[in-house]
Structure 1
Amino acid sequence: MKRLSKLAATLSPVALLASCGSGYSTEGGSEAVSTPAPTELDFAITEHGSFNEPWASAFLPGTRMLFITEKSGSIKFKDLASGRLGTVSGVPAVDYGGQGGLGDIAFLPSEAGRDSSDRTIYLSWVEAGEDDTRGAVVGRGQLLCLQADECSIEGLKVIWRQAPKVTGRGHYSHRIIFSPDQQYMYVTSGDRQKMQPAQDASNTLGTIVRLNLDGTPSAGNPLAAQGSPSDQIWSWGHRNLLGIDFDASGQLWEIEHGPAGGDELNLVKKGANYGWPVRSDGDHYDGANIPDHTADDGFEKFAINWTPVIAPGNMVFYRGDLFDGMKGDLLISGLKTKALIRVEVDGEDAREVARYDMDNRIRSVIEGPDGALWVLEDGEGGRLLELRPE
Structure 2
Amino acid sequence: MKPFFYLWLALLATPALAVTTDQAEVKVQTLAQGLDHPWGMAFMDDGRILITERSGQLRVLEPGGKLSEPVKGLPAIAVGGQGGLLDVAYRQGWVYFSYSEPSEQAGTNSTAVARARLKGDTLTQLKVIFSQVPKFSSYAHFGSRLAFAPDGSLFITLGERYSARDQAQNLANDLGKVVRIWPDGSIPKDNPFVGQLGARPEIWSYGHRNVQGAAINPRTGELWTNEHGPQGGDEVNIDRAGKNYGWPVVTMGEEYGGGKIGEGSAKAGMEPAIHTWVPSIAPSGMAFYTGDRFPNWKGDLFVGSLKFMQLVRLELDGNRITGEERMLMVPIGQRIRDVKQGPDGYLYLLTDADDGRLIRLEPAPKS
* Deviation of 1:286 (Å): 3.1
Contact 2:338 2:350 in 1 (8 A): yes
Contact 1:138 1:158 in 2 (8 A): yes
1:292 to 236, 247, 264: 264
Q: How far apart are the structure 2 equivalents of 1:321 and 1:336?
A: 30
SS class of match (1:196): helix
Gaps of 5+ in 2: 1-5
Amino acid at match of 1:51: L
Contact 2:193 2:199 in 1 (8 A): no
Q: How far apart are the structure 2 equivalents of 1:284 and 1:57?
A: 33
1:253-301 per-position Cα deviation (integer Å, ceiling 9, x unaligned): 100000000000001111110110011000011311124323x532100
* Deviation of 1:26 (Å): 7.2
Q: How far apart are the structure 1 equivalents of 2:308 and 2:29?
A: 21
Aligned-pair RMSD on alpha carbons? Answer: 1.8
1:317 to 264, 268, 288: 288
Q: How far apart are the structure 2 equivalents of 1:22 and 1:79?
A: 48
Task: Give the aligned partner of residue 83 of structure 1.
Answer: 65
Q: What is the count of residue pairs matched by the alignment?
A: 350
Structure 2-normalised TM-score?
A: 0.91
Matched, 1:308 2:283: no
Counterparts of residues 1-390 of structure 1 (less than 5 Å)? 22=7, 25=10, 27=12, 32-37=15-20, 42-48=25-31, 49-60=33-44, 62-80=45-63, 82-87=64-69, 88-108=71-91, 111=92, 119-129=93-103, 130-145=105-120, 151-182=121-152, 184-193=153-162, 194-226=164-196, 230-249=200-219, 250-290=221-261, 291-294=263-266, 296-356=267-327, 357=329, 358-390=332-364
Q: How far apart are the structure 2 equivalents of 1:226 and 1:362?
A: 40
Structure 1-normalised TM-score?
A: 0.85
1:77-124 per-position Cα deviation (integer Å, ceiling 9, x unaligned): 1112x222223211222100000011111111xx3xxxxxxx211111
Q: How far apart are the structure 2 equivalents of 1:26 and 1:106?
A: 38
* Deviation of 1:35 (Å): 3.6
Gaps of 5+ in 1: 1-20, 112-118, 146-150
* Deviation of 1:23 (Å): 6.1
SS class of match (2:50): strand
Range moving further from structure 2, 230-239 or 340-349: 340-349
Contact 2:171 2:198 in 1 (8 A): no
Task: Give the aligned partner of residue 3 of structure 2.
Answer: none
Range moving further from structure 2, 313-322 or 237-246: 313-322
SS class of match (1:85): coil
Contact 2:334 2:353 in 1 (8 A): no
